[in-house]
Chain A
Amino acid sequence: MTYQLALSLISGIFIAGSAAYLGTLMLSRKMAVIAGPLGHLALPGAALAIVYGFSISLGAFPFVVLGIIVIWLLEIRTKLAMEALTAIVFATGVAIAFLFLPIDKAEAALVGDISKVGIYDTLASMVLGTLVVVIINRSYSKILLINIHEDVAKTEGIDVKLYNLIYLSSIAIIVALGVDLVGGLMTAALVAIPAAAARNVSRTLGQFGATAGLFGIASAALGIVLSTITALPAGPLVILASGIIFLATVPVSRAW
Chain B
Amino acid sequence: MNDILLEVKDFGVTLDNTPVLSGLNFTVTEGEFLTVLGPNGSGKTVLLRSLLGLIPHTGEMNWHKKPRIGYLPQGLNQVSVRDMPLTVKDIFGLKELKPAEGVTFLELVGLEGDIINKRAGHLSGGEFQRMLVAWVLASHPNILFLDEPTTAIDVAGGETVYSLIKEIWQRKGLTIFNVTHDLNIVYAHSTHVLCLSRFGHRCYGIPKEILTPDVLRDIYGAEVKLYTH
Contacts and interface: CB of A to CB of B under 8 A. Distances in A.
B139 A152 contact: no
A203 interface: yes
A27 B84 contact: yes
Given A149-B80, A155-B71, A254 B85 contact: yes
B54 interface: yes
Interface stretch (B93-101, B150-158, B188-196, B207-215): B93-101
Interface in B79-136: 80-81, 83-87, 89-90, 93-96, 119, 121
Interface stretch (A96-104, A166-174, A204-212, A222-230): A204-212
Contacts of B90: 204-206
Nearest to A256: B121
A256 B122 CA distance: 8
Contacts of A254: 85
Contacts of B81: 148
Contacts of B39: none
A4 interface: no
Contact of A148 (B69, B89, B94): B94
B94 A204 contact: no
A144 B84 contact: yes
A167 to B, nearest CB: 15
A149 B76 contact: yes
A152 B84 contact: no
**Interface size bracket, B side:** 20 to 34
B69 A205 contact: no
A255 B84 CA distance: 9
Interface string B70-81: 010101100011
Contacts of B87: 203-205
Interface in A5-32: 24, 27-28, 30
Interface residues of A, number: 25
B117 to A, nearest CB: 9
A2 B121 CA distance: 48
Contacts of B89: 204
Most central of B75, B76, B83 by chain A CB within 10 Å = B83
B166 interface: no
Contacts of B198: none
A198 B62 CA distance: 48
Interface string B42-80: 000000010011100000000000000101010110001
Interface in A186-228: 199, 202-208
B71 A152 contact: yes
Contact of A156 (B76, B85, B93, B95): B95
B95 A151 contact: no
A192 to B, nearest CB: 12
A254 B121 CA distance: 11
5 contacts: A27-B83, A155-B145, A204-B90, A205-B93, A207-B85
Interface of B: 49, 52-54, 69, 71, 73, 75-76, 80-81, 83-87, 89-90, 93-96, 119, 121, 139, 145
User: Which 3 pairs between the two chains have the least Cβ-Cβ distance?
Assistant: A205-B90, A202-B85, A155-B71
